[in-house]
Amino acid sequence: MNEMDLHFKLLGGLPIEIDQAGTLTIPTLQTITELNMSIYNAYLAAMLIDKETIKSDWAKSLSNFDIFFAYCYQDEIFKYHAFAAIELFFNEKAILLEGEDNVFIGIGQGQINHNNFDTIQTVIKLGNNVEIQNEPEFNPANSRAAKMIEEMLKEDAKRPKPKEKVDLHSIVAGLAWKNNGLSLFDLFKLNIYQIYNGLYVTNNIDNYRHTITALYAGTIDGKNIKLSDIHWANKLKQ
């Protein structure tokens, strides 16, 4: 899918067509909260498994889908979280299937396979503001799913990380009580992509307003400030 189209669909909270698999929808904060954020993080950890986090030679020649399918086949805990995640994102039950020369996961009339799994991971990462480090440390929605990671990657050690000053909870609370026309009830109808977009745009607007106010007040030197570089409607760095 075109990257611009993907960003617009995520911003609008619209379903995204995945070739061969069907439509993927990023759930709202309301849906995630009813499920429980800790459970949702475990779902994300399963769906976003990355072979780069497995520091073993046997993983180098495999794809992320190979690793994902193998864990679904061998580990019941992983399979439970992975299949629950698929049902949440695609609204279809999942089943492990084997063809004559390949393996895939059936979902309704579609399937998840080697051809579309990377795209699915990309959409889920972008839709949840997820960054995956080159070690067994997943940060879905700015919160750790360390316990699930350790179960999935028993041979890898996890290094402690500094406690984050900003997380999804603090962002939602901040946006709700900021004078921007949004209430808590409004925010819970949004997905995580929309919430982080709201944070970044709000920061841009505040920075622009504060800079303009300081320029008019003469408290900063405007010689080195290019207003077009700090405009509130500038493109966000994705």
User: How confident is the model over 117-145, as a mean pLDDT?
Assistant: 69
Task: Check: CB of residue 23 under 8 Å from CB of residue 16.
Answer: yes
Distance CA 140, CA 10 (A): 16
Please check the confidence at residue 209 and state whether its pLDDT lies above 90.
no
User: What does the block give as tokens for 178?
Assistant: 């900021």
Please check the confidence at residue 147 and state whether its pLDDT lies above 60.
no
User: What does the block give as tokens for 33?
Assistant: 């909260």
User: What does the block give as tokens for 106?
Assistant: 């059936």
Q: Which residues pair with 110 in a beta bridge?
A: 107
3-class secondary-structure state, position 168: helix
Summarised one tens digit per residue, pLDDT across range 2-22 is 888 999 999 999 999 999 999
Task: Check: CB of residue 13 under 8 Å from CB of residue 26.
Answer: yes
Task: Please state the pTM of the whole predicted model.
Answer: 0.75
Q: Which residues pair with 183 in a beta bridge?
A: none
Task: Check: CB of residue 1 under 8 Å from CB of residue 14.
Answer: no
Angle in degrees, 0-180, between the axes of helices 3-12 and 192-217, rounded to the nearest 10: 90
Q: Pairing mode, if any, of strands 94-98 and 22-24? A: unpaired
